[in-house]
Amino acid sequence: MSLPSQLFDAAQQWLFEAVVQPALFALGLANVLEDAYVATGWLLVGLLQLLVMLALIGPLERWRPVEPLQDRAAVRVDVIYTLIHRLGLFRLALFFMAEPLWDGLFGMLRTHGWRTFQLDALWPGVTDQPLASLLLYLLVFDFVDYWIHRGQHRFGWWWRLHALHHSQRQMTMWSDSRNHLLDDLLRDAIIVVVAQCIGVAPGQFVAIVALTQLSENLHHANLRLWFGRLGERLWVSPRFHRLHHAIGTGHESAPAQRTGAPVLGGHNFGVLLPWWDMLFGTANFECRYDPTGVRDQVEPGPDGRVRDYGRGFWAQQWRGLLRLAGRG
């Protein structure tokens, strides 16, 4: 076991024994100690992510911002979204709502002979090495995330939820977690199914999620940064992803951009790697830093009105439901 893993395990053990376990005993919840230990690991990962955001990405934003920070109230709402996700509140809700369903489903499948496909066993002696298997799983999950993202922009009902993420006109490192909770639930359900099917180890899954989320924080940052002609094609940069959030460009098809008709589509769907955008023809490497948002919140629609996506957390969640029902 590497030194970082040993330090993380020691910190998780201390946090669990010093804080979480006494709290569970006091609340009469000793029956969930095992799950709570796993949740403590997620909490620790979230705290470390917040530390990296504040210590590294925040100073970068102040160093080379794309635009002045004007709408601080909107950013504070994004901070709430980030804390909900990184401090484990969303995962806690999933534990009580969805975890029993997943356990029952996969338990039933295994009873009927279903076996997990071990992706890291493809090439014994190579793909089962820790670093090699981590990179392999990272590649698979990023490919899945690309197609999830394409679906969010392709299907009208899904876009009505996902549009909340694009409605932030003041992009910062906090904007990544600004999503409708139903949108998050649907994405997480797909990722859980994939993780179960390919047999990713829990520790590696945590590492993949942590790396992905931190990279997305950087991508959403108010940061004038690109990685050069070669680097832009190796890893998603803040410039590459900001173009995905640009009004019209990021969420409308090429015909829509020419005619003004609101046809879903867009560019730069890659989460970590721009390779999938390059492979499937959705990459846009123009070096631009356009205003962000959704066209219908800045231009009147067919009814002559601009769409209100809400200012506060609950207003945004409620309006997402109204859009999903065709009333918002």
Could you read off the pLDDT of 233-253 as tens digits, one per residue? Answer: 999 999 999 999 999 888 888
pLDDT of residue 165: 98
- Read off the pLDDT of each residue in 16-45 and give the average, rounded to a whole number: 86
- Read off the pLDDT of each residue in 102-113 and give the average, rounded to a whole number: 66
Sign of CA dihedral 240, 242, 246, 250: positive
* Dihedral angle, C-alpha 118, 119, 125, 127, nearest 10 °: -150
- In this predicted structure, the answer to whether residue 136 has a pLDDT above a threshold of 90 is yes
Closest CA to 167 of 74, 266, 238, 81: 74
- In this predicted structure, the answer to whether residue 121 has a pLDDT above a threshold of 80 is no
Give the integer Cα–Cα distance in Å for 197 and 245: 32
Which has more pLDDT, 119 or 267? 267
pLDDT of residue 99: 61
Lowest mean pLDDT among 102-116, 145-159, 238-252, 310-324: 102-116
Task: Give CA angle at 91 (89, 96), nearest 5°.
Answer: 100
Which has more pLDDT, 176 or 16? 176
pLDDT of residue 63: 96
pLDDT of residue 193: 87
Long-range contacts of 264-267 (CB under 8 A, 24+ apart): 264/153, 264/154, 264/155, 264/156, 264/159, 265/153, 265/154, 266/153, 267/243
pLDDT of residue 252: 86
Which has more pLDDT, 123 or 150? 150
Domain boundaries, the chain: 64-325
Which has more pLDDT, 80 or 258? 80
